[in-house]
Structure 1
């Protein structure tokens, strides 16, 4: 996990180069009227998963940059939260891991909750379009919903 945290820290500090790239706001606008909360200038991979993480003797690297976007630096750790939940972590445990990243504390609670709901809707759509017999998308949708539910509960207590 420490290698993943290190590469996430490096990525969070990487400003998006001056290239034409989809913005997180645009990608998420169809799922929420709060997508403006995801604005930022960080380059985001957005498809962190075990198959896209190369671990070598000196560190970790994210490969297969098929879905890069520009957005807030906390977005990548938020995506990682869903992957951690899918790997068996509770939402609280996943957020604790994300909390090890400096950028996590820059995310307002309202933004995290909105992003959790965007991902729940997005993964529902992906799961609905998945080929018959393909279940990983349904698992991701369930993980995204578990995080959105957790965020709603956390917001009630703050």
Structure 2
């Protein structure tokens, strides 16, 4: 995914410090890319936290970079995230990976609905 924005890419709840302000910490996986990527990383996290796919995407749609992203790019990202998490679940099992993989798969199915995929 090409772009020049600074990305965090590890939008885990452990990387947010919340107080008077919200701080995003642990920039070990920082890289450059399109601004919508970090928003997209949060969508499966929101689904994992109990939000429906449509609700998670409605939140994402409040971020300008998301609104201008093609369905094809979002689907490609959903495929990649679902695959990466499924791979990590098999090769490096951890208690949280089953639920995160399931959330990513739910989002992928939601993204791939034909009427949604071809609407933009």
Q: TM-score, normalised by structure 1?
A: 0.71
1:141 maps to which residue? 101
Deviation at residue 130 of structure 1 after TM alignment: 2.4
1:151 maps to which residue? 111
Query: Which of 90, 104, 107 is the equivalent residue of 2:66?
Result: 104
Deviation at residue 60 of structure 1 after TM alignment: 1.0
User: Residues 41-56 of structure 1: matches in 2 within 5 Å?
Assistant: 41-56=4-19
Deviation at residue 135 of structure 1 after TM alignment: 2.2
Unaligned runs of 5+ in 2: none
Moved over 6 A (4+): none
Is 1:117 aligned with 2:79? yes
Larger Rg belongs to: 1
2:43 maps to which residue? 81
RMSD of equivalent CA atoms: 1.1
Separation of aligned partners in 1, 2:102 and 2:95: 11
2:90 maps to which residue? 128
Separation of aligned partners in 2, 1:107 and 1:40: 12
Count of matched residue positions in the alignment of Structure 1 and Structure 2: 117
Q: TM-score, normalised by structure 2?
A: 0.92
